[in-house]
Amino acid sequence: MIAIAHSKPSRLLALRQGLLIPGLVAVITAFLPLGAAAAHPACDSIRILSGSDKDEVHWSLEDKLVPATRNQRGVVREAFELAPPLLCAAVRRVAFVYEPAKQGVSGKNKSNDRQDLVYLNAAAPRFQDQLLGSSERARVEAMQTVLHESTHAATRLLYTRSKEAPPAWLEWRPDEDLWEGEALALADEAIARTRLEKGVFQEWGRMHASFVAAGLAHAYYGDDWSGVLADAPGFASAYGGEDIAEDIAEIAGWALVSRRFRGVLGDDTDSTLDQACLQMRKESGPSIPARLAAVFTKVAFAHSLGLLDDEAYDECVGRLAIRGDGSGFFTWEDGDLSRAYTSDVEGTLGTAGDGEWVMQMSARGSIGVEDEGERNARIRFTLTIETDEDDVDLVSFPRGHYRIGPGQYPFNTLQITYRKDGDDALAIEVFEGDVLIARGGTDVVEGAVFVRRYINYTELIKVPVPPKTPMLITFRKDNR
């Protein structure tokens, strides 16, 4: 890799120079698709163990293994009808165990046992046979448990295929030999698509921390989650706030059963069990409220990883979306589209300055210049990727909340230039703004910049000013 051979410019110097990064050097990849996700398999190969399959469960659960009832088997099959290919491939067996002393634990995917096996507690209220046969809500909540635990299996499969160091809570590194060719291929595709060779857990935690720093999410609270039942900002449920693994599993589990759960609740959508999909579907869209920015991004992340399919993602987010059709940049003023830059849309990852990794997107369109009329213009957005990695394979796409402005990374900028006297002249630069990167993958990168202050270099007085009306600039590079 070749880095730019000059020192990092200061913020003021960059403003005077116009273009913050004259050219992205050491480009490592364009945003190119790596192939479409596999179709839904029938999941028929997943086995529900019988009471005699004691040699297939953990030694501590041999005497607790019980045969599944008709209702229990039915709810497991219903759950896997909603599962995307990665979850189906990650789970090969389901076992019902009877643990009345642990009624509060509905299921588990033991970190010191075979990771392709999901345990369900037949003594838990969610899996009591009579209730499953009489209550649709009980069936949906039981299905969510099945999919929650299956997500654990899938994320541990992803973990085995990355270079991530063992998280503190994972006592043993799962053995990837447990999974067969299809499962390993799906995991490898997901890691390549999201550029997560460094690991899913590490990146999810970094993304969540960006929302915590912005005051848009609660920090993980470990075993104290039970005291935060009514309000869990940034999580699908209070239980999801325990740690990264539970956060991912709750996001995916509730999104996969979202339609069924909403049908059970009707107009009563104040449940503490799903504070992601139910809350997002209350919104008329397309703007994303700040209080939902974290869960919106997490659901998109789960979708990019293959933990959700298109139907589950669309059902969960409802009418919320990054605004704008197709690829390009879109300027919205007071909710109305005022400019679109949709020609020559490019996206790259590379190094700049003294070797910092950045993502850069650009497109062409036009801009109105006072006394000069409409002029051809180029918009360029650059964002620092926060990493200490030197290995290009460990550099992921940015995701989560970022900022443009004084005191932030000097390469974080959004600028519009136009042709003047044969040269590029700076017209507009965002001086201060909040950035949301909702999706980051080789299939689609999209996000938005909420403009707080900007500088118009075509005016006589060139000082940072707030927009006269709320201004949002959205962007997307779609290779699907």
pLDDT digits (tens, 9 = 90+) for 161-196: 888 877 776 666 666 677 888 899 999 999 999 999
| Last residue within a domain, chosen from 163, 179, 194 | 194
| Last residue within a domain, chosen from 275, 290, 321 | 321
Q: For the residues 251-258, what does the mean pLDDT come to? A: 95
Q: What proportion of the chain, given as a percentage, has pLDDT over 90?
A: 53
Q: Identify which has the larger pLDDT, 38 or 454.
A: 454
| Last residue within a domain, chosen from 296, 321, 346 | 321
Per the CB < 8 A criterion, the answer to whether 67 and 50 are in contact is yes
Same domain, 249 and 183: no
Domain that holds residue 462: 11-30+324-478
Q: Which of 218, 219, 207 lies closest to 301 in space, CA to CA?
A: 207
Which positions ≥6 away from 456 have C-beta within 8 Å? 427, 428, 462, 465
Q: What are phi and psi of 176, to 5 degrees?
A: -65, -15
- Tokens 């950045």 correspond to 358
Q: Identify which has the larger pLDDT, 225 or 131.
A: 131
Helix (H, G, I), strand (E, B) or coil at 367: strand
Distance from first CA to last CA of the chain, Å, rounded?
29
Give the chain's mean pLDDT: 84
Q: Is residue 1 in some structural domain?
A: no
Instruction: Supply the Cα-derived Rg of the chain in whole angstroms.
Output: 24
For residue 114 the two structure tokens come to 């075979």
Helices (H) and strands (E) in the chain — how many of each?
Answer: 12, 16
Same domain, 149 and 213: no
Q: Is residue 3 in some structural domain?
A: no
Q: Is residue 208 in some structural domain?
A: yes
Helix (H, G, I), strand (E, B) or coil at 77: helix
Strand ranges inside 13-131, DSSP E: 25-30, 47-48, 65-66, 93-97, 107-108, 117-121
Strand partners, 30: 348
The region of weakest confidence among 152-156, 273-277, 319-323 is 273-277
What pLDDT is attached to residue 19? 41
Q: For the residues 274-301, what does the mean pLDDT come to? A: 92
For residue 358 the two structure tokens come to 């950045």
- Specify burial of residue 351 (Cβ count, 10 A radius: 0-12, 13-18, 19+): buried
Q: How confident is the model at residue 44 (pLDDT cuts 50, 70, 90)?
A: confident
437-474 pLDDT, tens digit per residue, is 999 999 999 999 999 999 999 888 889 999 999 999 99
What pLDDT is attached to residue 355? 79
pTM equals 0.89
Q: Which of 119, 125, 118, 120 lies closest to 103 in space, CA to CA?
A: 125
Q: Into how many domains does the chain fold?
A: 3
Same domain, 467 and 352: yes
328-346 pLDDT, tens digit per residue, is 999 999 989 999 999 999 9
Q: How confident is the model at residue 36 (pLDDT cuts 50, 70, 90)?
A: very low
Same domain, 41 and 158: yes
Q: For the residues 371-382, what does the mean pLDDT come to? A: 86
